Structure 1
Amino acid sequence: MSVPHTKRICQIIKLKPSAEAEYRAIHAQVWPGVLAALERAHIVDYSIHYYPSLQLLIATMKYTGSDYEADMKKVAEDPETQRWWKVTDGMQESFVEGAEGSGKDTPWWTELEEVFRFDGKP
Structure 2
Amino acid sequence: MSKRVCQIIKLKPEAEAEYKAIHANVWPSVLAALKRSNITDYSIHYYQPLRLLIATFKYTGTDYEGDMRTVAEDEETKRWWKVTDGMQESFVEGAEGSGKAIPWWTELEEVFRFE
Tell me the TM-score normalised to structure 2 length: 1.00
Can you give the 5+ residue segments of structure 1 that lack an aligned partner in the other structure? none
Which residue in the other structure is 1:115 paired with? 111
Which residue in the other structure is 2:50 paired with? 54
Tell me the TM-score normalised to structure 1 length: 0.94
For 2:93 and 2:41, how far apart are their aligned partners in 1? Answer: 28
For 1:39 and 1:30, how far apart are their aligned partners in 2? Answer: 13
For 2:48 and 2:31, how far apart are their aligned partners in 1? Answer: 25
Identity of aligned residues (%): 79
Larger radius of gyration: 1
Q: Determine helix, strand or coil for the equivalent of 2:111.
A: coil
For 2:80 and 2:105, how far apart are their aligned partners in 1? Answer: 15
Regions of 4+ moved over 3 Å: none
Match of 2:15 among 15, 19, 23: 19
Can you give the 5+ residue segments of structure 2 that lack an aligned partner in the other structure? none
Which residue in the other structure is 1:34 paired with? 30
For 1:63 and 1:105, how far apart are their aligned partners in 2? Answer: 20
Q: What amino acid is the match of 1:81?
A: T
